[in-house]
Amino acid sequence: MPGMRLRSSRPRPTSIELCAGCGGMSLGLEAAGFTPLLQVERDAHCVRTLALNGYTEETSVLRADVAAVDFTPYRGRVDLVAGGVPCQPFSTSGLSNGAGDERNLFEHAVRCVRECAPRAFLFENVAGLLRARFAEYLQGVLARLRALGYAVECHLTDASLFGCPQRRRRCLIVGRRDGVAYVPPTPTTPTPPTVRQMMTDLGPPDGENAHVLHGRLPREYKQHGPSDLDRPAKTVLSGPNGPGGGKNCVRLDDGTMRFFTIRELCRVQGFPDTFVPSPVWTQAMKQLGNAAPPLLIAAWARGLLPARRAVSRSAARAAPPAATADA
């Protein structure tokens, strides 16, 4: 009809995601404008959480070990390969065995890029990957990706600069093969939001929407103390200092400390309030501690969209937490 603006029939760009976890990167990629073609995750608990949020084995989820997946059937069909390959081999919170750790999957991330030849890729890992002891290994990974015809860059960033009320430094490896220079995103919250701002509209734990006060008392560690209300949260963890206490806790105005509720932890990690976490507390803590912040991923993935494709940020599923730095 004259004057009517027709919706474009052009399909949304597609993505393959390695180590999908509970869906943090999935939400970020979808917010940026990508449609998941394949999401690989081997952990049954994570696969169940993905299903709670609409990502199922009937649509795009493949429960499998990344090392066992053949990606050649997807060659020429995918715009972006992304993944938060296990960070434990490079984390300062672990043994930092690097390339010698059996959980290191970078070689399979490179293999995935080689087999399916995407337009671009985005890999997220801990800032520890940039330590001098891993420099030779990292340069080897980057060289192999460049040899496949990609312009590759490695960036250090922080989720607190993109709406997350949490200091979470991350190494992002980005690559394109379309000749378009990658432009890192401008921070959306140069003054990071605080824990108090994140918590204000939630009110005290009321048992609704995973906002439940856990009865277990956390332990305080010298190296991993609780987060302060008037600062961004410390980096939330998965493991002994996660469910056991430490950085997954907050110190209140009266001096006491408690665990973040799961809903608060979702907000700390930049998940929308519509996200459905695992109903098992230990699993929710573990999965969220391992997750890639959706807000961070969305901001960096937008720069990897195929040329002349844009997505409205207002339509993003990974909406920011209710409170902002100006709240």
Pick the residue with more confidence: 80 or 325? 80
Q: Give yes or no for a contact between 272 and 27, defined as CB atoms under 8 angstroms apart.
A: yes
pLDDT band of 105, cuts 50, 70, 90: confident
Cα separations in angstroms, 12 against 29, 31, 44, 236, 272? 11, 12, 29, 33, 22
d(CA 272, CA 79): 25
- The pLDDT tens digits of the residues spanning 19-52 come to 999 999 999 999 999 999 999 999 999 999 999 9
Positive or negative, the Cα torsion across 88, 93, 99, 101? negative
* Contact criterion met (CB below 8 Å) for 38 and 75: no
- What's the rounded mean pLDDT across residues 135-151? 92
Of the listed ranges 105-114, 239-248, 255-264, the least confidently predicted one is 239-248
pLDDT band at 213; cut points 50, 70, 90 = confident
Assess whether pLDDT exceeds 80 at residue 148. yes
| pLDDT at site 306 | 87
Name the amino acid, one letter, at 61: V
Residue 309 has pLDDT above 70, yes or no: no
Per-residue confidence (pLDDT) for residue 10, from 0 to 100: 63
Give the model's confidence band at 325: pLDDT under 50 very low, under 70 low, under 90 confident, else very high.
very low
Neighbouring residues of 26: CB distance < 8 A, sequence distance ≥ 6? 17, 20, 36, 39, 50, 53, 55
Report pLDDT for 218. Answer: 80
Over residues 264-284, the mean pLDDT reads: 95
pLDDT grade, residue 308 (50/70/90)? Answer: low
Highest mean pLDDT among 7-16, 80-89, 136-145, 189-198: 189-198
The rounded Cα 246 to chain-centroid distance in angstroms is 21
Among candidates 291, 211, 228, which has minimal Cα distance to 43?
291
- SS3 category, 38: strand
What lies within 8 Å, CB to CB, of 171 at 6+ separation is 124, 125, 126, 127, 129, 130, 154, 155, 156
Q: Which of 159, 182, 179 is nearest to 270 (CA)?
A: 159
**Residues 95-131: b if buried by 16+ CB within 10 A, e if exposed:** ebebeeeeebbbebbbbbbebbbbbbbbbbbbbbbbe
Name the band, by pLDDT with cuts 50, 70 and 90, for residue 9: low
Amino acid at 31: A
Q: Which residues are catalytic?
A: 87
Burial class (CB in 10 A: 0-12, 13-18, 19+), 136: exposed
Count how many Cα atoms sit within 13 Å of the Cα of residue 147 in the half-sphere of its side chain: 9
pLDDT of residue 4: 35
Rounded to an integer, the average pLDDT of 292-314 is 79
Q: Set out the domains of the chain in order of their start, with CATH numbers.
A: 14-189+292-315 (3.40.50.150)
Share of the chain above pLDDT 90, in %: 66
Mean pLDDT of all residues belonging to the chain: 85
**DSSP-derived secondary structure for 275-318:** ----SSHHHHHHHHHHPPPHHHHHHHHGGGSPTT----GGG-SS
Residues 218-241, mean pLDDT to the nearest whole number: 81
**Mean pLDDT lowest for which of 34-48, 152-166, 294-308?**
294-308
Looking at the chain, the number of H-run helices and the number of E-run strands are 8, 10
The fraction of the chain above a pLDDT of 70, given in percent, is 82
Average pLDDT score over residue span 196-208? 92
- pTM for the whole structure: 0.85
Residue 235 has pLDDT above 60, yes or no: yes
